């Protein structure tokens, strides 16, 4: 009975707290805030709009386009734990939702679940993101019922310290790995992709530009208002 | 008689001068734990600027505090400041700041 209740709770949590997409930076802004984020690379585009109800819970909607799939995913982002230290901050985020995927001109249900962890001081920055996506093919059994995972790891450093109304610059190295769904979705193979990124931000606006070591580019943008 | 009047005027003037800073509005410096980036600072600034009592706010990432300047005769309680920082996602550290009361 207890085990059943626990399993139901866990399943419920996974459904509600599903997906983390690739949005890494501040998926839960301050209470009442809106955030617009766009993550773009030579093979993918993602745009997310997020609104925080509290400092721990935000609702978001994400549009993600790869070479042969398009996703529309409403989701919840939950700041499960934050450590506010004297000189640093660490976070654990869970986020997720249920949406749709347009794949081979067919609309499919897609469930997503994700976990994000980061630690940041004014000088250093480490991030880990894990996302899981599952396509439900009950509407069309001819479409493969695939699962797909995405993992990201980042380390960064600020070459100089700046105040918040000055230009902040970060150097970031990013490693990404796509698991289990390389051929069908255009979301990449299982190889690790390394990207060198330059991050700039002033006050509430952030830009990132980068190049992949094996070719390709990334451009990210984020604003809170 | 004239001496008494001059004395009274002098005391009155001194009294007015002493009370001037109080009329200029109170300032309070509050330490903030976890404030390490511009996004943190911007959220905190916006939260405090939305308060009627606050005339101005200065944020220092380097020194990890916010300096609040209140409107004349107004202030925010420590509980309210704590709540505003919590809404922004951070923690007040009153021992790190110093209250600059006139």
Judged by CB atoms closer than 8 Å, whether chains meet at A87 and B36 is answered as yes
CATH number at residue B49: 3.30.70.100
pLDDT on residue B38 = 86
Structural domains in chain B (count): 1
Residue A119 has pLDDT above 90, yes or no: yes
**Residue B41 counted as domain residue:** yes
CATH number at residue A205: 2.40.160.40
pLDDT in tens, A102-113: 887 888 889 989
pLDDT in tens, A129-187: 998 888 776 666 666 667 778 899 999 999 999 998 899 999 999 999 887 654 444 45
What is the phi-psi region of residue A154: left when phi exceeds 0, alpha when psi lies from -120 to 50, beta otherwise?
Answer: beta
Instruction: Select the residue of A28, A121, A201 nearest B36 (Cβ to Cβ).
Output: A121
Flag residues of chain B having pLDDT under 70.
1-24, 96-102
Residue-number span of the structural domain to which A187 is assigned: 2-224
**Residue B94 counted as domain residue:** yes
DSSP state for residue A205 in the 8-state scheme: E
**Residue B12 counted as domain residue:** no
Q: Which long-range contacts (CB under 8 A, 24 or more apart) does A179-185 make?
A: A179/A148, A179/A149, A179/A150, A179/A151, A180/A146, A180/A147, A180/A148, A180/A149, A181/A133, A181/A146, A181/A147, A181/A148, A181/A149, A184/A68, A184/A103, A184/A144, A184/A146, A185/A66, A185/A68, A185/A69, A185/A103, A185/A146, A185/A148
Residue-number span of the structural domain to which B93 is assigned: 25-100
- Cβ–Cβ pairs < 8 A, chains A and B: 82
**Residue B20 counted as domain residue:** no
Structural domains in chain A (count): 1
For residue A61, what pLDDT band results from cuts at 50, 70 and 90? very high
Q: How far separated are the first and last CA of chain A, in Å rounded?
A: 46
B36 at the A interface (CB within 8 A)? yes
B58 at the A interface (CB within 8 A)? no
Residues of B in contact with A85 (CB under 8 A): 33-34
Are A79 and A57 contacting, i.e. CB atoms less than 8 angstroms apart?
A: yes
Residue A24 has pLDDT above 90, yes or no: no
Three-state SS letters, A132-169: EEEEECCCCCCCCCCEEEEEEEEEEECCCCCCCCCCEE
Token couple for B100:
């600059």
Q: Is the ipTM of this complex over 0.90?
A: no
């Amino acid at each position: 009975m207890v085990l059943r209740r626990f399993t139901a709770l866990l399943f419920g949590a996974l459904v509600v707290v599903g997906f983390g997409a690739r949005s890494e930076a501040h998926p839960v802004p301050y209470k009442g805030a809106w955030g617009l984020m766009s993550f773009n690379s030579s093979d993918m585009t993602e745009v997310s709009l997020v609104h925080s109800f509290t400092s721990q819970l935000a609702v978001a909607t994400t549009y993600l386009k790869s070479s042969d799939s398009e996703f529309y995913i409403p989701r919840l982002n939950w700041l499960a734990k934050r450590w506010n230290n004297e000189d640093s901050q660490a976070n654990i985020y869970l986020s997720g939702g249920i949406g749709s995927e347009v794949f081979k001109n067919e609309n499919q249900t897609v469930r997503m679940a994700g976990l994000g962890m980061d630690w940041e001081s004014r000088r250093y920055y480490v991030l880990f993101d894990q996302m899981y996506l599952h396509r439900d093919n009950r509407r069309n059994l001819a479409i493969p019922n695939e699962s797909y995972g995405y993992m990201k790891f980042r380390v960064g450093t600020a070459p100089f310290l700046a105040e918040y109304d000055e230009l902040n610059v970060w150097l970031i190295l990013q490693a990404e790995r796509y698991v289990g769904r390389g051929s069908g979705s255009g979301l990449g193979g299982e190889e690790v992709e390394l990207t060198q990124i330059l991050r700039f931000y002033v006050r509430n606006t952030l830009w990132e530009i980068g190049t992949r070591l094996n070719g390709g580019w990334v451009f990210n943008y984020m604003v809170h208002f | 008689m004239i001496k008494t009047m001059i004395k009274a005027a002098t005391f009155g003037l001194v009294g007015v001068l002493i009370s001037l800073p109080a009329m200029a509005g109170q300032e309070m410096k509050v330490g903030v734990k976890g404030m390490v980036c511009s996004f943190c600072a911007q959220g905190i600034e916006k939260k405090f600027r939305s308060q009627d009592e606050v005339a101005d706010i200065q944020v220092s990432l380097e020194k990890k505090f916010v300096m609040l300047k209140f409107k004349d005769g107004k202030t925010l309680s420590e509980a309210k400041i704590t709540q505003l920082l919590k809404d922004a996602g951070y923690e007040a550290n009153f021992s790190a700041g110093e209250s600059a009361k006139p």
